[in-house]
Structure 1
Amino acid sequence: MTRQSRTSPAGSQRSLHQVYDTALLDLDGVVYAGGEAIAYAVESLAAARADGMHLAYVTNNALRTPDAVAAHLGELGIPTEAAEVITSAQAVARLIADQVAPGSKVLVIGGEGLRVALRERGLVPVESADEDGLAAVVQGYGGPDLPWGRFAEASYAINRGVPWFASNTDLTIPTGRGIGPGNGAAVEVVRIATGAEPQVAGKPLPPMHRETVLRTGAERPLVVGDRLDTDIEGAFNGDVDSLLVLTGIADGAQLLRAEPRHRPTYVDRDLRGLLTGQPEVEVEAGAGGAGGFRCGGWTAVATDGVLDLRGEGDPVDGLRALCAAAWTHAGEGSCTLDAGKALARIEL
């Protein structure tokens, strides 16, 4: 089965942490939310590491430095070195450094993570659009208190023709209080004011994958994320396998509608999925040639414009079966079948 034609979540008889040498873990919505560890994350990562799996934390959030992220993970009970953290700030800084002269001035719209990453690449972060010799503007998530005037500062420079870069364009970000606006929402503000388009480094685009490979040296990586449009698409673009966990942005309805580039290799409830095998989804022949898809105690069938789910058992098995029915029906497109009653049965 090629990635372009994936029609079902994959199974694995072996635990995923034994199949893959490195977990490339997203942070927000996977390891923590709003600064607090997500349930089962700490103990699951400790067990995977103790059994030989390398852990790397790959985040589109450009606000904090790798040192700060590593310190925060340590406070949560996840011992981490700064070198194990890869951020979109690092990816965008490399992207800029490839296009401007060493020592160039770069206007920063965002947090300290961007400034540290720029200095690492020999660039000079500045705060004003009026700096002489300004070579680039870079925009990254600056937290909920980033002043509105910073967007105006970016607009002044971009409207004068200064090249514009963005760490990422995630429209939303999970927080301890719910889903909030992400850097992509701030990028839209500047895009409206300038009519320009930034060069983007973060997931799911190649600069972030390149940064991750350069810094981790992973040979058999598994991308672990909570978003279809960044984590899973990034894995698809990098031609590596992925595990979607249901602790952040993506929900069952989004997963069933996923087009091929957004379909993960595996689906599980949380990071405990690293430590287990993955059940197979089996094709089940039906009356009149109408086939169903069985996983655990559940069988999913696509019929008369509706996804139907029968049986009982682990709700995630039900979701896996539904994915197989939805993705097979959709082919290379996005499933349009009504799945409301089926999803209500498993209450994920």
Structure 2
Amino acid sequence: MSGYDALLVDLDGTVYRGPDAIDGAVESLEVARRGATVSYVTNNASRGPDEVAEHLRELGLTLESGDVVTSAQAGAAVVAEHCEPGAPVLVVGAEALAEEIRLVGLTPVRSEEDAPVAVVQGHSPDTGWRILAEAALALNRGAHWVACNVDPTLPNERGFLPGNGAMVAVLRTACRREPEVAGKPAAPLLRQAIERAGARRPLVIGDRLDTDIAGGHAVEADSLLVLTGVSTAADVLGAPPEQRPTYLGPDLQVLGGELDAFRVLDGDTGGWTASREDGVVVLASGADDDAAGALRALCRVAWDAPAGGAEVRAADDRAEKMISTLGLATG
């Protein structure tokens, strides 16, 4: 950890699922904050930083509201770059997003009849057809479009729910346009967090390859993927170069140990080894049941291919069991 001065930590699927903390997350982050600034960087625009911070404090974390950076804040900042002060902006999302629009000196509206010059879209569980229709009218009239994020799913304690990206897809289909994206994997949200933390060498931490890890690459920062949320072992093996993490661990408890041991390309694999035979990646059993270590061993071979990924086969019975544990299909 001594090589990093700030941790930029995702929330949904990384620190908690739904209202509940993931095992070991709180304790690990409390230890980590003794040696580095910990910022909580979320693509979810449905809650303001005060509300998010209060939830995290209820879970047992020590932080101030300023330690939370949301995609609503990043989205509002991006919108402000395209608008004159006081300009009307149509908000598709929660009141927290409307408040961020106010804070950057713009006027949030909910109807196309208010002649919005921009549309900003963030997650809200209450988004329905009527507000999407107002947004479509504004976009078809030429309003600038900013999406706080384009995550297709949102993990919670019951499983995966439609995320903001699913709602963005509705307007993309209806209007045949693409939004400017503020949240991960685009750089604005993480840059805002880096600037606020005054970080020179941040570590981006999250559970999604296509947002958290790709976002780390976008700001040229190292990254840690934890296997507690969206991305699976199969996703990791098939990750393109721009989505490959520096470190890979089962959960945030890796922050309490020697982080270098969890480097994908040259960390500890618990004795697990992999080789390529006739285009197939063959896993051979190690000294323990470290699934993340086995996955790191597989990645070292699978990532030799430009696009990553490969058919996987077991060299022995323990490796066969491990491949099943990782949820990988065998060849």
Q: TM-score, normalised by structure 2?
A: 0.91
Q: Does 1:74 align with 2:63?
A: no
**Structure 2 residue matching 1:230: 3-state secondary structure:** helix
Q: Does 1:103 align with 2:77?
A: no
**Structure 2 residue matching 1:107: 3-state secondary structure:** strand
Residue number in structure 2 paired with 1:201: 182
Q: CA deviation at 1:281?
A: 7.5
Q: Is the 8 A contact 2:249 2:262 kept in 1?
A: no
Q: CA deviation at 1:47?
A: 1.2
Give me the whole-angstrom Cα distance separating, in 2, the residues matched to 1:219 and 1:283: 24
Q: 299, 305, 309: which is aligned to 1:323?
A: 299
Q: CA deviation at 1:230?
A: 0.6
Q: Is the 8 A contact 1:281 1:321 kept in 2?
A: no
Residue number in structure 2 paired with 1:137: 119
> Which amino acid in the other structure matches residue 170 of structure 2?
V
> 1:167-182 counterparts in 2 under 5 A?
167-182=148-163
Q: 169, 181, 189: which is aligned to 1:188?
A: 169
Give me the whole-angstrom Cα distance separating, in 2, the residues matched to 1:309 and 1:101: 58
Q: CA deviation at 1:147?
A: 2.2
**Structure 2 residue matching 1:223: 3-state secondary structure:** strand
Name the structure, 1 or 2, with higher relative contact order (CA <8 Å, separation 6+).
Answer: 1
Q: 14, 17, 27: which is aligned to 1:43?
A: 27
Residue number in structure 2 paired with 1:12: none
Q: Is the 8 A contact 2:8 2:38 kept in 1?
A: yes
Q: Does 1:253 align with 2:234?
A: yes
Give me the whole-angstrom Cα distance separating, in 1, the residues matched to 2:265 and 2:198: 37
Cα 1:282/1:76, change in 2 over 3 Å: closer
Q: Is the 8 A contact 2:274 2:281 kept in 1?
A: yes
Gaps of 5+ in 2: 327-331
Q: Is the 8 A contact 2:261 2:268 kept in 1?
A: no
> 1:149-168 counterparts in 2 under 5 A?
149-168=130-149
Q: CA deviation at 1:340?
A: 6.3
Q: Kindly report the root-mean-square deviation, in angstroms, between the aligned alpha carbons of the 2 structures.
A: 2.0
Q: CA deviation at 1:39?
A: 0.8
Q: Which runs of 4+ in 1 moved over 3 A?
A: 280-284, 340-344
> Which amino acid in the other structure matches residue 83 of structure 1?
G
Residue number in structure 2 paired with 1:123: 106
Q: Is the 8 A contact 1:283 1:294 kept in 2?
A: no
Aligned length: 318
Q: CA deviation at 1:218?
A: 1.1
Q: CA deviation at 1:339?
A: 2.2
- Cα deviation 1:83-126 (Å, max 9, x = unaligned): 00111111111111111101111110001221121112111111
Q: CA deviation at 1:213?
A: 2.1
- Cα deviation 1:24-78 (Å, max 9, x = unaligned): 00000000111210110011111112x3221100111111000010000011111
Seq. identity, %: 49
Q: Is the 8 A contact 1:27 1:57 kept in 2?
A: yes
Cα 1:265/1:343, change in 2 over 3 Å: farther
Q: Is the 8 A contact 1:44 1:274 kept in 2?
A: yes
